[in-house]
Each structure stands twice: as C-alpha cells, then as structure tokens.
Amino acid sequence: MELGRRDLLLTAAALLAAPTIGRAQAAGDRKLGYAIVGLGYYGLNVILPQFANCEHSRVTALVSGDRAKALATAARYGVPERSIYSYETFDQIRDNPDVDVVYVILPNSMHAEYTIRAAKAGKHVMCEKPMAVSVAECEAMIAACKTAGRKLMIGYRCHFEPFNLEAMRLARSGAAGKVRYVVSEHGFVQRDPSKWRLKKALAGGGSLMDMGVYSLQAARYMTGEEPVAVTARESTDRSDPRFTEVEDMIAWTLNFPSGAIATCQSMYSANQNHVLLMGDRGRIELEPATRYDGNRLWTGRDGREQEVTAPPAGPGKTQFAGQLDHMAVSLRTGAEPIVSGEEGLRDLRIVEAIYRSARDGRTITL
C-alpha cells in the first residue's frame, strides 16, 4: 500500500510539473501571498529571492524581531509597511487579506508555536524542516491546522529538485533492479559554538535534527518504503565546546519491509552530501545530493555508467519556486501538498526512535 501511495505522490508531483496545468490554473487568479516569519539566513538569502521565480506565489508580509531589517527587506521586495509584524504582533496577521500562507523559517523549537498561531489566525502554513522537535508537537500542529481548516506543508524542497525527482523516478521504474540498500549521509562542519543549532532548547537535537532529516528523507523517498525497525549509534566528543548540549555524529540503519536496508548518517564534524541506491541490477547515485544547486546524478547498470546531465525540468524554475508554487496550486485545487504535515510527522516518529535506539543501545521496532 505504501509503495502505491508513494507512486501516486510521484504522479501528483509530475502532474503539477506539467507547465500546461500550471498555466491553466494561474489564468485569471491572483498570486498567493506569503508571510515570511524569520529573516535569518534561509528566509532572507534563499527563500525571499525565489519569489521572482514563482508563477503563483508572492511575498506580501514579513515577521521579524528586527524592525530595521524588516523595513529594509520590505522596501526591497515591495512589501507595504503595514504588513510588517513583530513576534508580539504576529497574531494580527489574521486581519491581513493579502496573506494566504505563513512560512515559518525560525529555529526548530519555534515551529510548533508559530504554525499553531498561524492556523488560529486562519492562515495556511508552510513550515521548515524539521517539522518540530517532537512527535507530540507535530500532532498538535496537524490538529491545529485541521481544526482551522487550513493546509500544512513542510519545506521538503528535495521533492521539487529535478535530480532528486529523477532519481526517485528511476528507482521506482526499476532502473537499478530490486533495491538492496541505500546509503544516505549528510553533514557539514559546524564551527561556531554559539549557534542556536547547537542549543538543545532551540534545535531540539544536533545534526540529526538538521542534516539528518535529509539523510532520513532520502532513505524513505529512494526506497519508497516505510522502515519497520531502526538501530542507531552516536559518536560525540562531549568535551568539545560545540557539543555540550547536542550530538555531533549519529549513524542509523533502517530495515524496510522489502528486505532493503538504509545506512544513514548525519554529522556536524565533516562535510558530506551523498545518496546511493544499490539494486540487484545497478545503482543510482546523487553527489552532491541535496544542495541548493549543483546536485549531480549518476546511474550504473550492467557495467555501464552514465551521468544524468539534464533531468526533466522540475515543477518550478528552481526547487524553491517549485515548493512555494506547489502550496499555491494545492490551495487552488484543494489537493493535499505532497509533503504535508503527516510526512513531517512520519520523520519525527523515526527521529525519536533513532535517539531512543542510540540511547538504549537496542533496535527499535517501528
């Protein structure tokens, strides 16, 4: 059933990618308005410039604790001053008809609060990964959006990234044969001990809550299966001032119903960005796999290696525009986003099991 559901999701993504459908839906409709909550690195430098690549989405409000930064950003993106909010005045966003979707780009432990406040203000929500820092928070977020009749989507941009989409399509089409294993590893060297990512209260955990989400997501979307068991080990130098509160490196294996095994890692002490799927006929490999750009894809079958240089275009001009517009199109059509709150919840259930397995030194059945 799960394989069937995932195939449907891929089909839905492919349909939304079709430019004719996008244009038909856009005809005569205004672009959907996003409020960006949090003008940090990702919100300011990555997401905001991407509205220029969107067909169905525009930025209409900003939420920031830094008024001067918000004013300068508003001037740059044509957001009126009346649509600038602080964290204290955020709930007034309910009275702003130009805001359809609130995009939460805050430290992880703030995702639940702002998602729930946005839903109560009658807005749809796009929330960054990880969806939240616990299963309980994810469930509360889903419940709040459901009660308010609003949609919830997680910022899983790789589901809109052309090389990742092509890798998923190839895996599903049997290009590598029967899947035997996946290796999925993501990390970067986190140098500054003062970063919120290294504070348990704000990040919820260490590398697993950050790059580990990419490793976990890729293991799930490459196999197209849900794991039935997880076994994890952690390696952290607690005398290192960066890692007094959260883990550095964590490695885990996932067992899938088909017999496939995923070996995953995340770390804050090495730069790695790699996904490999091995089947009984060949391989599908992404390296770098999940970067903002410059990702590369190879396939190998029956001894023939080949780089996939030009995969079919994704559902937007960039993965980010594809993600933003997907929410807009979902709202117009009434369809669930392909990466909904339930998808974020699935990951957090596994994340909690990974931590439990590493702590207790035993395999956790999911």
Annotated active-site positions, please? Answer: 129, 214
Task: From 34-42, 72-80, 281-289, 303-311, give the range in contact with ligand NAD by CB under 6 A.
Answer: 34-42
- Could you give the strand order of the β-sheet that contains 282-286, starting from the edge strand earlier in sequence? 304-308, 297-301, 282-286, 272-279, 179-187, 261-267, 249-255, 229-235, 364-365
Q: Minimum CB separation from ligand NAD for residue 178, in Å?
A: 32
Q: Minimum CB separation from ligand NAD for residue 107, in Å?
A: 5
Kindly tell me which residue out of 16, 39, 63, 350 binds ligand NAD, with binding defined by CB under 6 A: 39
DSSP at 211: T
Q: Minimum CB separation from ligand NAD for residue 1, in Å?
A: 29
Q: What is the CA radius of gyration of the chain?
A: 20
Write the Ramachandran bin of 30: left for phi over 0, alpha for psi from -120 to 50, otherwise beta. beta
The answer to whether residues 256 and 223 touch, using CB atoms and an 8 Å cutoff, is yes
Nearer to ligand NAD, 155 or 341 (CB): 155
Kindly tell me which residue out of 181, 188, 196, 298 binds ligand NAD, with binding defined by CB under 6 A: 196
DSSP at 312: P
Kindly tell me which residue out of 202, 270, 308, 366 binds ligand NAD, with binding defined by CB under 6 A: 202
Task: From 19-27, 36-44, 229-237, 276-284, give the range in contact with ligand NAD by CB under 6 A.
Answer: 36-44
The answer to whether residues 289 and 274 touch, using CB atoms and an 8 Å cutoff, is yes
Footprint of ligand NAD on residues 266-325 (CB under 6 A)? none
Is 129 a binding residue for ligand NAD by CB under 6 A? The answer is yes
Q: Is residue 276 within a helix (H) or strand (E), and if so which, with residue range?
A: strand 272-279
Largest Cα–Cα distance of the chain, in whole Å?
A: 62
Q: Minimum CB separation from ligand NAD for residue 324, in Å?
A: 12
Whole-number Å distance between alpha carbons of 235 and 245: 13
Kindly tell me which residue out of 40, 177, 288, 300 binds ligand NAD, with binding defined by CB under 6 A: 40
Comparing every residue's Cβ against ligand NAD, the nearest one is: 40
Kindly tell me which residue out of 33, 155, 315, 344 binds ligand NAD, with binding defined by CB under 6 A: 155
Cα separations (Å) of 119 from 60, 94, 101, 123, 154? 17, 9, 9, 5, 14
Kindly tell me which residue out of 10, 62, 74, 105 binds ligand NAD, with binding defined by CB under 6 A: 105
CB atoms within 10 A of CB 26: 16
Q: What's the length of the chain?
A: 366
Task: From 70-78, 103-111, 176-184, 305-313, give the range in contact with ligand NAD by CB under 6 A.
Answer: 103-111
Contacts (Cβ under 8 Å, ≥6 apart) of 340: 151, 152, 153, 154
Write the Ramachandran bin of 361: left for phi over 0, alpha for psi from -120 to 50, otherwise beta. left
Kindly tell me which residue out of 70, 106, 167, 276 binds ligand NAD, with binding defined by CB under 6 A: 106
Footprint of ligand NAD on residues 204-223 (CB under 6 A)? 210
Whole-number Å distance between alpha carbons of 43 and 41: 6
Is 184 a binding residue for ligand NAD by CB under 6 A? The answer is no
x/- binding map, residues 322-351, to ligand NAD, per CB under 6 A? ------------------------------
Nearer to ligand NAD, 43 or 224 (CB): 43
Give the footprint of ligand NAD on this chain (CB under 6 A).
38-43, 65, 105-108, 128-129, 155, 157, 196, 202, 210
